[in-house]
Amino acid sequence: MTIDTPGSSAESPRPLRVAFIHPDLGIGGAERLVVDAAVGLQNLGHKVVMYTSHHDTAHCFEETRDGTLTVRIGGNTIVPRTILGRCYIICAILRNLHLAVTMWLLNSAAPENEKLDVIIVDQLSVSIPLLRWTGAKIFFYCHFPDKLLTKRESLLKKVYRMPVDLIEELTTGMADAIVVNSKFTADIFKKSFKMLHQVPDVLYPSIQFDKFDRTVDQDLPEVKVLTAINKITFLSINRYERKKDIRLAIHAFARLLQDNSKNDISTVQSLRLVIAGGYDTRVTENVEYHKELVQLAEQKYGLRTWTLSSGQSDKAVPESTQVLFLQSISDVQKLYLLQTARALLYTPTNEHFGIVPVEAMYMRCPVIAVNSGGPTESILHGKTGFLCEPKEEVWASTLQTVLEKSDQELREMGEAGHDRVVGLFSLAAFVSKLNGILLQLQQGSAALESYGMFGALRPLFVFTTVTIALSIILYHYAQ
């Protein structure tokens, strides 16, 4: 459905009872978004609870562990994350369904005046049919169609994905309201889900300005380990995932060093690339990709690297380090890095939105990003940063341009980025629009199943779910 969102003046007859359902409350852009949304709605007086299948208090945002938000865990006792390293999406679907059943049972047992009004679902839509049984309105936030996030190298993989893709499209269409994180994602949504007639609204992610306006205590051990050596720093912040193409940053940085080594060795010695981001030892790809990046830097380019794991503040970073890898940085480390970096390097291609460039611009740090996806909507080329084709020679040239800019030019670019974020990506604007959508849902039409769509599609949902269960065996044992 298309949403006409009222402004912040919209009034609710009573606070809403809102639940969020999210697969894993770890550290990432999607998690930051739902946490900010939950806190914002709670501050408006709504009663909010978050449901998840995994919540590691050592690897999560502060609001989910310090009592700010109520977090309930379910769907993590029957189905593992993977089956011998395979079938990740199948396991994610089954865990999500298990979590939805847990939520439904709790809601069914609750007194009438405590039952949910709205359920906010993001990332996985498969649970929407089950969640409709709660009687709550369903709001789906589409970060990006899951069907586009996997490769299909073999015929078997294509067959294996067919029922998964069908389920995603049908269950997405069962939501009462659908929003996406950028105009880029809205266009991809329409091209990917051809059976759906809903036109999703765009709700840009935001950041909490107060979290970035803090003064960093440089005497903290976790910060002190980063301040020991003064270097001109280029910064990359992304999860350790291959689709983030962090290799591009290493290629470009190595080429920058090579170009400058011919004329100015002092400049080469003053430069450092810091690669920071989400790292989870449970995730095989995180572990493997970190090793690949280290090998690329050391073996191909002969660069000196150093890795600091989460919580390691007692290890001094060698002065000779050219590429520093940081795993699962804390909020204060991230703040310090954004305050001191010469530029942020944002390397993913066709990123759905990209919250890190917005954070960097707010911190007056110029951004170099790939000229595709969400960053083309947040970054103004030549004014708040640079949009470049994903080619190492282009990126190396842009790094050189930033390196040669005067302090005054960098300040002007930083101020332009800060002003842009304040005007377009404030948490207040995000929460106001989200609140308007939820209020409209509460006061709007009856549940979707009342006009037959859900009832007609329920048998198909059951059939495709069974097909997926059978495909687990086929896909696993055929490898």
Q: DSSP string covering 257-307, please?
A: HHHHHTT-HHHHHTEEEEEEE---TT-HHHHHHHHHHHHIIIIIT---EEE
- Map tokens 């960097």 to a residue: 360
What's the CA gap between 323 and 399, in Å, rounded? Answer: 15
This prediction's pTM: 0.76
Assigned domain for 10 exists: no
Between residues 403 and 447, the one the model is more confident about: 403
The DSSP H or E segment spanning 187 is: helix 183-192
Quick one: pLDDT at residue 448? 42
Same domain for 354 and 436, yes or no, is no
Local structure of 90: helix, strand or coil: helix
Of 7-11, 24-28, 41-45, 323-327, the poorest mean pLDDT is in 7-11
Quick one: pLDDT at residue 356? 95
Q: Which residues contact 301 (CB under 8 A, 6 or more apart)?
A: 250, 254, 257
Same domain for 335 and 468, yes or no, is no
Same domain for 458 and 311, yes or no, is no
pLDDT of 63 > 70? The answer is yes
Quick one: pLDDT at residue 197? 84
pLDDT of 57 > 60? The answer is yes
CB neighbour class for 57 (10 Å; exposed up to 12, middle 13-18, buried from 19): exposed
pLDDT of 470 > 50? The answer is no
Quick one: pLDDT at residue 228? 66
pLDDT of 451 > 50? The answer is no
Cα-Cα-Cα-Cα torsion 75, 134, 459, 441, nearest 10 degrees, comes to: -120
Same domain for 433 and 295, yes or no, is no
Same domain for 191 and 222, yes or no, is no
Using alpha carbons, list the distances in angstroms from residue 396 to 33, 300, 371. Answer: 32, 17, 15
pLDDT of 309 > 70? The answer is yes
Between residues 14 and 470, the one the model is more confident about: 14
Assigned domain for 7 exists: no
Assigned domain for 3 exists: no
Q: What value does the mean pLDDT of the chain take?
A: 86
Of 469, 472, 479, give the one whose Cα is nearest residue 153. 479
- Map tokens 């639940």 to a residue: 19
Of 343, 339, 355, 332, give the one whose Cα is nearest residue 409. 343
Same domain for 155 and 267, yes or no, is no
* Listed residues 424, 439, 455: the one ending a domain: 424
Quick one: pLDDT at residue 434? 95
Of 57, 47, 44, 63, give the one whose Cα is nearest residue 210. 63
CB neighbour class for 184 (10 Å; exposed up to 12, middle 13-18, buried from 19): buried
Of 206, 207, 283, 291, give the one whose Cα is nearest residue 246. 291
* Listed residues 409, 424, 439: the one ending a domain: 424
Assigned domain for 337 exists: yes
pLDDT of 466 > 60? The answer is no
pLDDT of 472 > 50? The answer is no
Same domain for 137 and 228, yes or no, is no
Quick one: pLDDT at residue 301? 96
Same domain for 196 and 222, yes or no, is no
What's the CA gap between 170 and 474, in Å, rounded? Answer: 23
Percent of the chain surpassing pLDDT 90: 55
What's the CA gap between 303 and 29, in Å, rounded? Answer: 30
Task: State both tokens at 250.
Answer: 């290493």
pLDDT of 456 > 50? The answer is no
What's the CA gap between 269 and 232, in Å, rounded? Answer: 9
Same domain for 177 and 248, yes or no, is no
* Listed residues 424, 441, 464: the one ending a domain: 424
Quick one: pLDDT at residue 154? 72
For the residues 15-32, what does the mean pLDDT come to? Answer: 90
Same domain for 342 and 450, yes or no, is no
pLDDT of 479 > 80? The answer is no
Task: State both tokens at 380.
Answer: 């103004």
Domain count, the chain: 2
For the residues 207-232, what does the mean pLDDT come to? Answer: 87
Assigned domain for 447 exists: yes
Assigned domain for 12 exists: no
For the residues 184-203, what does the mean pLDDT come to? Answer: 90
For the residues 244-265, what does the mean pLDDT come to? Answer: 91
Assigned domain for 349 exists: yes
pLDDT of 427 > 50? The answer is yes
Quick one: pLDDT at residue 27? 80
Assigned domain for 171 exists: yes
Q: Please report which confidence band the pLDDT of residue 453 belongs to, taking 50, 70 and 90 as the band edges.
A: very low
Quick one: pLDDT at residue 349? 95
Q: Please report which confidence band the pLDDT of residue 457 belongs to, taking 50, 70 and 90 as the band edges.
A: low
pLDDT of 245 > 50? The answer is yes
Same domain for 96 and 122, yes or no, is yes
Give the model confidence (pLDDT) of 160-193 as tens digits: 678 788 888 888 998 999 999 999 999 999 999 9
pLDDT of 242 > 80? The answer is yes
Task: Decide: 172 and 126 in contact? Cβ < 8 Å.
Answer: no
What's the CA gap between 237 and 290, in Å, rounded? Answer: 13
Give the model confidence (pLDDT) of 70-88 as tens digits: 999 988 888 888 777 777 7
Quick one: pLDDT at residue 352? 87
Percent of the chain surpassing pLDDT 70: 88
CB neighbour class for 84 (10 Å; exposed up to 12, middle 13-18, buried from 19): exposed
CB neighbour class for 248 (10 Å; exposed up to 12, middle 13-18, buried from 19): buried
Of 237, 230, 241, give the one whose Cα is nearest residue 292. 241
Between residues 102 and 420, the one the model is more confident about: 420
Q: What's the half-sphere exposure (Cβ side, CA atoms, 13 Å) at 28?
A: 17
Same domain for 49 and 117, yes or no, is yes
195: domain CATH number is: 3.40.50.2000
- Map tokens 């690339």 to a residue: 273
Domain boundaries, position 383:
211-424
DSSP annotation of 323 reads E
